Amino acid sequence: MTLDKSQIPANGGLGRRTAATVSSLLAFQLAILTVGFSAAVRAEGSDTATVLRHEFEAKISYCQDCHGPSGQGYRGFYPIPRLAGQQTEYLTNQLQAFVEHRRTNNIMFNVAHALSPAMITALATRFRDFDPKPIGGAPRNLVAAGQRIFEDGIPDANVAACAACHGPDATGRAEFPRLAGQLNTYIIKELTNWSKERGQNPARPDTSIIMQPVAHSLTKSQIEAVAAYVSSLK
């Protein structure tokens, strides 16, 4: 919207009525811009627009009870995975996998099925931004062997290099998870029991199917070596 020059007196000054008109027009233009800007912000942030702060803080606190205050994981009888620094797309996919029974875990099903898409996005973003030191604790004598498998694979067993999907620094990308700093005991559990941990709903194929032949081709000692190596990475 532009001002009509006929509203401006020839002497360059503004009469009271004209000044009031200009003021009204400027206010109207400002209102238009404000509405448009607000709509753009809402559209851009639509994934998290419906997440209330107190609800988010309650949910993140609940997650931290098990996964640690910085998402560093927990080394116990049942290892609880590190979520810190994890790829948001991977976290989102895995929470949905619990809901769809592509992964079977009663506790995580109860947690995940109650989360809105916006809340899942907000939680995944918060955990991605955490950056604690790895818990460590893996046998150091296995790290070198694990690094060779991670970087070069095992050609004789038709196992590709882990780095091909998880990245040279094991930080992952998109739906390929970050492995750097992950608890070695958790990785051992997952790879050893892959057919019972993942892909449990054939009607809903999961990207984890890529790992099935790899997990089945690795020996126990090779799994332990890879787990020791990636858990040592920051």
pLDDT at 76: 87
Give the CATH number of domain 53-231. Answer: 1.10.760.10
Question: What are the domain boundaries of the chain?
Answer: 53-231
**Tens place of pLDDT for every residue, the chain, 234 residues?**
444 444 434 443 434 433 343 344 334 343 433 333 333 333 334 444 578 999 999 999 999 999 999 999 999 889 999 999 999 999 999 999 999 999 999 999 999 999 999 999 999 999 999 999 999 999 999 999 999 999 999 999 999 999 999 999 999 999 999 999 999 999 999 999 998 988 888 888 788 889 999 999 999 999 999 999 999 999
pLDDT at 49: 56
Q: What is the CA radius of gyration of the chain?
A: 27
Strand partners, 173: 176
From residue 122, alpha-carbon distances to 46, 52, 91, 130 in Å are 11, 10, 11, 13
Do 231 and 187 touch, CB atoms closer than 8 A?
yes
Burial class (CB within 10 angstroms; exposed 0-12, middle 13-18, buried 19+) of 71: buried
pLDDT at 11: 42
Strand partners, 80: 74
pLDDT at 9: 40
CA distance 14 to 207: 69
Task: Give, for 19, the enclosing helix (H) or strand (E).
Answer: helix 16-44
- 3-class DSSP state of 106: helix
Helix pair 220-231, 143-152: axis angle to 10 deg = 90
Do 120 and 111 touch, CB atoms closer than 8 A?
no
Task: Give, for 141, the enclosing helix (H) or strand (E).
Answer: none
Do 125 and 205 touch, CB atoms closer than 8 A?
no
DSSP 176: B
- 3-class DSSP state of 186: helix
pTM (2 decimals)?
Answer: 0.77
